[in-house]
Structure 1
Amino acid sequence: MSDRESRDVHVAIVNYFTAHYLDVLVRQLVADGAASVTILDNSVDDGQWAGLSELAAGLDTVELLRSPRNVGFGAGHNAIARHLGALADDQVLCVLNPDTRMEPGCLRALSDALDEIGADAVVSPVIVTGDPVRPVTWFAGGEIDLRRGVVTHSGYGQQPPPRDGSVFSTGFLSGAVLAATLKVWRTEPFDETLFLYWEDADLALRWAARGVALIVQPRARVWHAEGGSQTDGGRQHGAVYHRYMNRNRTVVLAAHMGLLSLFVGAGAKRTVGQLVAPLRERRWRGGAAECHAALAGLIDGLRAVAVHTAARRAVGRSRRRAHRCSERGDGGEVTTVAVFAPTPSGGHPEYVLKALDGVLDSDDDIRFVWPRRPDLERRFVSDRINQPVAIPAQLPRTDVDTTWRWVSERARPWRRHDMAFCWFLLWRRDIDVVLLEEIQRFTLPLVVGLSRMRGRRVIVRLHNIRRHDYAGSLVDAVDERLTGRGLRMADSVLVHTAGNRRVACAHYGLRCVDVVPHGISVAPAAGSAATGPPTFLFFGEIRQNKGVDILVQGFAKYSGECTLMIAGRSEDSTRARIVDAADRDRRIEWIDGFVAPAAVLELFARARAVVLPYTDFEAQSGVLHMAIEYGVPVIVSDVGALGETVRALGIGLVVAPRDPVALADALTTIEDSRVNGEFRRAIGDAQNSLDWRTIGPTLSSALRGVCASG
């Protein structure tokens, strides 16, 4: 029997004076094949319990639980999940509002979606409302705007999406209907302090932070009596609604965005709007009691945040005292390092995590605090590192329609990553060293100055010596002046190679620059057999300085058996040239866009060599070190740290920049099996010398040394 056939769907319902809805719903669920239906009665009412007992009579798959008090929506569903503790993790639990009607086949469609996407996902049907014959959309996906503090339902009031559509991802799932494996529910349950409302938004944010996929299944339909599970109903919400809506909005936004977001900018506008919402609903004729409830909810939320913050700080202080007393090595105290690395996805947080793990593996008395954004990819969340959510999320450049709006977003102090980091440091008394793994170049002097408060030492990791995208411009001159000022204010600057150190010292007038090489983690399947024809691989984001046009010209002069694979997202300025080259030469293939991690192994397994024909580059290359991780020789142009690293390790060929003829000769040379084999053997030695566990003590020494020098 297949997994799909054996996967059972269990249904959880929390009742609060809604027994009149459940007679029809429960029979629909039984007919639709629910393995079990568990109803927890929150009503604390004998009449409700009698009605539930009557409808469950004779239905073996229906089980009733009676709560001694009204524990709330989220806590009620958590209680049901605990009650189902004997069930296997791969069984599906569907959380369902009592004021719904489920179409035949809905449970199977939800289970099929989990089979299609994977067990680490949560799925919702399309939820409709209104006339059951001609319903309109109530929920077909949604988004949580943390900046404004508002949740939106996509397509609300419009025609439902087609039933034959594919499952699609979303940023928010309504708590009216949710289906996930019991493993997901047990790992990340509802927050029981959120008695009513916003518990689904909080859960969606925590799921997303863990990397759980949030999806909608169009083939599954559920009708929902909007407001049917509220005692007041209709569009004029009662005092209970306004109290808990304001309270829990405050608690959730404070946890995921910071309390300041409620009272600054768009968040403040929404906060005021929530407080006067009862008056608007009643067209300014009444609603005083509801307004008082809304204000009481806001105050209660602020009180809850203050209590939670005080408790967290008290626990933190006691842990730090215990940590400093118990974790001493050779008579020295533990050094606490705060790390600034706000990027939530891609190669940079992966690099930072591996570098910090390398230090932790060295068994030195160093611990890290890495303030992060709420949307940091789950694979970068580590139980070895303290990673509080203290950096606000920002709209990516691709989601902003104009450059001025993008600049406006970044110019607001309360939205900036670096200012949020400095605000975080202001309240932390346990930080000894600040490690700036990313720099905001124009504000670097301010950030270094604020970071040095309380006598802290500051280290700046300079990955890119200079920006290549505006070299020689007025902006470059301003950048050079401000960046140089910030670097000179720091106690130490870290670069990847001796060549980078010479350039940084000459360009910025630095005196204290330490070399900490770029480390690697050997890929688990490095050197595995390829399943396709051999290629020369260009990998990574394609920009003007990456020399793709030089690569295409050189490859046109190459007559061997390898094809050319270009994999990465391209700027508009280079896109047309790549498309034209691929049209003219069928040996060239282009993967346009982000390459999923699962596909990266295949690309490097097929590669005879990785080619980096950069034209203007004053940094170290992450792609070069990926090639070393996967055991693939390289061809690089002699710019930045590329040529220096390849020559020192003996892992490939170095050519002059902007020379397609030399590049074509290098392609022919490295294709030779004997030459290629020699480079691959040298890569084995390089993997040992650049392992993060080898590099870790070097970074640890730099962190310790800056404290000793102070």
Structure 2
Amino acid sequence: MIIPDLVAVVVHHRSYGTLGATLNTLIAGGVAPDRILVVDNSEEPLRRTEVESLMPAGAHTIYSANAGYGAAVNRGAAWHEKNSHGWRYLLVATHESRPEADCLALLRATLAEDPETAVVGPILVTGDEGKTIWSEGGRFTRVLGLPRHHGHLTPRPGPSAAPPQLVSWLDGALLMFRRGVLTQHPIDETYFLYMEETDHHQTLRHHGWKVKVNAQAFAWQHSNGIPPFYMTRNIQIFHAKHGSRFQAQASAPYLFVRSVARDLIKQHRATTLRPLLAGLRSGRTLAAAARAKEQEGVVIVNPLGGALAHYSHALQQHLGAAGIPACVRALDEPSVSGQHRLMWLLEYVKLLGSEGWYRRGRSVPPRILLTWPVLGFWDLFLVKVLCGNSSWVVYHDPNPLVRSVGSGRAASALMGRMKGRPATLVHSQAAAEAMRVRGFTKGLTVVPHPVLPHSSERPLVEAVHRGPGRRPRVRVLGQYKRDRDLDLLVALASRLGSSYDFEIIGRGWPQVEGWRVDSRFVPEEELDQLVADSTVIVIPYKRFFQSGIAIRALEQAVPVVGRSETSLRDLFGPESPLLVSGNSGSASDVDAWSKAIEFAVEHGRTEASKAAGAFHRQADHEWALLVRPRQRLS
């Protein structure tokens, strides 16, 4: 069965005996012949008729100078962007890779199911009958950061129902990419041969993409391993871009010594000595050039990988818009992982320590940005010791409603007096004032809450809600806390209940008269839909420094009604008709809330859309100012 939204690039170099079988296997796996492009870099003009004889009817061929695997893939991807239409996924195969039945369909399903996955590969098998594993994806050794295959040369497993797994990198023999990935992040052509896919996948991961292997998909390939010249050459380029200073200095000499020793033991002579030395010399020059291009980046450390996943993603986009490379290192909280809190704390300290150790080894060290202080104000000391004082710590709630570790006066007083502490970030003027009261004035910066650009599909959603038989939905979303104004909610339902449907969805809520209450935890994937199909979101809080729900609503251009004395003023402006000022609990207060909700139902989408665009532009600008590159270290 043809996969209609799939195109393919086959990289061919002087392998005329295998090319035909590879093309036939791709067609049998679902690639339409007219969607196949062979990039031939054999540089053998007299044999081009042989290539043409192997091509299925309708398939395409371009011939180019041999600039390596990466250059061929980049050229093929650009060709399809220009000449092919209606596709979403791009298959890249070498001239002797043969996917087994259903392999391509399984790879496509992996990309379709997870929009955050950039590239997926199958389990690669080798040998005459394909009974030996070549690669189940890749990892890196702990100390030297050398790339290694998972499952290399182990027996092929039986059928598996395991879901796709995250890996550090994939072998380039057979890969499926999401459209646009190779356009936005082309493969580095410096490598010429070997390790360019390893480098490429680290770049994708640093930009927040996932790299996965599908354990149900298999493909056959043959490889003789990496030639000694490219082994010592390319590892230097790779670690200049992605490794620590120690790895950049030690990995190539280690590979050199190991290879020479292996030759002497097995063959009693160093047959690879000359190419290994040539690779060392060439790699030294190319690594220096790679380091000269290196940019200062940011490592976003997120210890609340579930609750703040959206926050981290939006933050990464702001940094990317500023031209700052950023990667996310996340750790799921106990409520998501099921892990004991103590183990989570230990993993958190370990994560900070490993990122701090890594940055100290870089010629241009990235800065650490901690999205949530697990230990309150004590995190300033922890981050300073482990990651250095050029880091940032975000404080979402300087005065938490529920007393937590490190939020007391003693912790804030001691950390406020600490010299050379990391910078602190807040997302509202109210939060900044609360931090100043606690003694944090130096190094305190107010930056907008990270926000994604609002969706262009929201007018369609609005039309559905305002259709015949549909009553506007006024919703409160999020966990219950004691600062929620329950009396106000009861009064609003009594005043407007005949015209609107009132719903509360979130964990821990009591029953509220006039509202349909669904007291449960709302998973991340459901929250966006709940926001999108709301007519109005009400924020009935008496006090708050910021609202993640309000940010999510802004991204969907869904109007939010709340108090003007809160951080909503920063989102919509102090004069917005969506915001309410006055004394809580008074009759005039209920009137003001009712009028704001009525305005939101009739005109709120327009108001929210304007606010969303303005706030996103402001956030891009202010985050860019915060993280602008510093002077390069000498």
Q: Which interval holds the TM-score relative to the shorter structure?
A: 0.5 to 0.7
Q: 1:280 to 1:549 in 2, by over 3 A?
A: farther
- 1:482 matched to 2:405? The reply is no
CA–CA distance in 2 between the matches of 1:9 and 1:197? 24
Structure 1: which amino acid aligns with 2:131? P
* 1:279 CA displacement: 6.1
Matched residue, 1:12:
10
Contact map agreement 2:476 2:538 (CA 8 A) in 1:
yes
Equivalent runs, 1:232-631 vs 2, <5 Å: 241-257=227-243, 259=245, 262=248, 274-278=255-259, 284-285=265-266, 286=268, 288-290=270-272, 293-294=275-276, 297-298=279-280, 300-310=282-292, 312=293, 342=300, 346=309, 348=311, 376=316, 379-380=317-318, 382-383=320-321, 385-387=322-324, 389=325, 394=329, 396=331, 403-411=345-353, 414-415=356-357, 423=365, 441-442=380-381, 464-465=397-398, 471=404, 477-485=410-418, 496-497=428-429, 499-500=430-431, 502-508=433-439, 510=441, 525=458, 528=462, 531=465, 534=473, 536-539=475-478, 547=481, 562-566=502-506, 587-595=517-525, 599=529, 601-602=531-532, 605-607=534-536, 609-612=538-541, 619-624=545-550, 630-631=558-559
CA–CA distance in 2 between the matches of 1:162 and 1:63? 35
Q: 1:693 to 1:55 in 2, by over 3 A?
A: closer
Contact map agreement 2:23 2:56 (CA 8 A) in 1:
no
Query: Secondary structure, in 3 states, of the residue corresponding to 2:199?
Result: helix
Q: TM-score, normalised by structure 2?
A: 0.66
Higher deviation after alignment, 35-44 or 297-306: 35-44
Matched residue, 1:692:
615
Matched residue, 2:630:
none
Unaligned runs of 5+ in 1: 231-236, 317-337, 353-375, 426-434, 452-457, 567-574, 657-661, 704-710
CA–CA distance in 1 between the matches of 2:482 and 2:149? 43
Matched residue, 1:74:
70
- 1:87 matched to 2:83? The reply is yes
CA–CA distance in 1 between the matches of 2:264 and 2:610? 72
Q: 1:71 to 1:529 in 2, by over 3 A?
A: closer
CA–CA distance in 2 between the matches of 1:274 and 1:163? 35
**Which of 101, 108, 122 lines up with 2:98 in the alignment?**
101
- 1:178 matched to 2:175? The reply is yes
Contact map agreement 2:166 2:211 (CA 8 A) in 1:
yes
Q: Deviations over 1:403-451 (max 9, x none)?
A: 33432332357447799799469xxxxxxxxx99999622788999976
CA–CA distance in 1 between the matches of 2:27 and 2:84? 21
Contact map agreement 2:3 2:105 (CA 8 A) in 1:
no
* 1:168 CA displacement: 6.4
* 1:528 CA displacement: 3.0
Matched residue, 1:193:
190
CA–CA distance in 2 between the matches of 1:642 and 1:392? 29
Q: Deviations over 1:645-665 (max 9, x none)?
A: 999767258999xxxxx8xx9
Matched residue, 1:335:
none
Task: Report the aligned-residue RMSD.
Answer: 6.1
Matched residue, 1:676:
597
Query: Secondary structure, in 3 states, of the residue corresponding to 2:84?
Result: coil
CA–CA distance in 2 between the matches of 1:170 and 1:293? 31
Q: 1:14 to 1:351 in 2, by over 3 A?
A: closer
Q: TM-score, normalised by structure 1?
A: 0.60
CA–CA distance in 2 between the matches of 1:511 and 1:54? 68
Structure 2: which amino acid aligns with 1:651? L
* 1:20 CA displacement: 3.7
* 1:609 CA displacement: 2.0
CA–CA distance in 1 between the matches of 2:394 and 2:246? 30
Equivalent runs, 1:640-655 vs 2, <5 Å: 651-652=579-580
Give aligned-pair identity as a percent: 18
Q: Deviations over 1:113-148 (max 9, x none)?
A: 66666799544344333462x725444455568986
* 1:562 CA displacement: 3.1
Q: 1:108 to 1:465 in 2, by over 3 A?
A: closer
Q: 1:417 to 1:194 in 2, by over 3 A?
A: closer
Contact map agreement 1:140 1:160 (CA 8 A) in 2:
no
CA–CA distance in 2 between the matches of 1:10 and 1:516? 44
Contact map agreement 2:301 2:371 (CA 8 A) in 1:
no
Query: Secondary structure, in 3 states, of the residue corresponding to 1:172?
Result: coil
How many residues end up aligned between the 2 structures?
580
Contact map agreement 1:651 1:679 (CA 8 A) in 2:
no
Contact map agreement 1:247 1:299 (CA 8 A) in 2:
yes
Contact map agreement 1:392 1:417 (CA 8 A) in 2:
no
CA–CA distance in 1 between the matches of 2:58 and 2:110? 24
CA–CA distance in 2 between the matches of 1:63 and 1:647? 56
Structure 2: which amino acid aligns with 1:692? F
Unaligned runs of 5+ in 2: 303-307, 374-378, 627-634
* 1:175 CA displacement: 0.7
Contact map agreement 1:608 1:633 (CA 8 A) in 2:
yes
CA–CA distance in 1 between the matches of 2:361 and 2:487? 45
Contact map agreement 1:610 1:627 (CA 8 A) in 2:
no
Q: 1:57 to 1:646 in 2, by over 3 A?
A: closer
* 1:255 CA displacement: 2.0
CA–CA distance in 1 between the matches of 2:357 and 2:19? 46
Contact map agreement 1:341 1:438 (CA 8 A) in 2:
no
Query: Secondary structure, in 3 states, of the residue corresponding to 1:633?
Result: strand
CA–CA distance in 2 between the matches of 1:212 and 1:644? 31
Q: 1:339 to 1:20 in 2, by over 3 A?
A: closer
Contact map agreement 1:126 1:222 (CA 8 A) in 2:
yes
Contact map agreement 1:142 1:153 (CA 8 A) in 2:
yes
Q: 1:485 to 1:463 in 2, by over 3 A?
A: farther
Query: Secondary structure, in 3 states, of the residue corresponding to 2:189?
Result: coil
* 1:195 CA displacement: 1.7
CA–CA distance in 2 between the matches of 1:96 and 1:512? 51
CA–CA distance in 1 between the matches of 2:362 and 2:385? 13
- 1:634 matched to 2:568? The reply is no
Matched residue, 2:632:
none
Contact map agreement 1:73 1:195 (CA 8 A) in 2:
yes
Structure 1: which amino acid aligns with 2:71? A
Q: 1:169 to 1:553 in 2, by over 3 A?
A: farther
Q: 1:201 to 1:626 in 2, by over 3 A?
A: same
Structure 1: which amino acid aligns with 2:288? A
* 1:402 CA displacement: 5.4
CA–CA distance in 1 between the matches of 2:454 and 2:62? 53
Contact map agreement 2:10 2:95 (CA 8 A) in 1:
no
Contact map agreement 1:465 1:500 (CA 8 A) in 2:
yes
Q: Deviations over 1:240-281 (max 9, x none)?
A: 624323432332333235545545xxxx6x667644543686
Structure 2: which amino acid aligns with 1:222? A
Contact map agreement 1:413 1:419 (CA 8 A) in 2:
no
Query: Secondary structure, in 3 states, of the residue corresponding to 1:173?
Result: coil
CA–CA distance in 1 between the matches of 2:539 and 2:75? 54
CA–CA distance in 2 between the matches of 1:446 and 1:141? 35
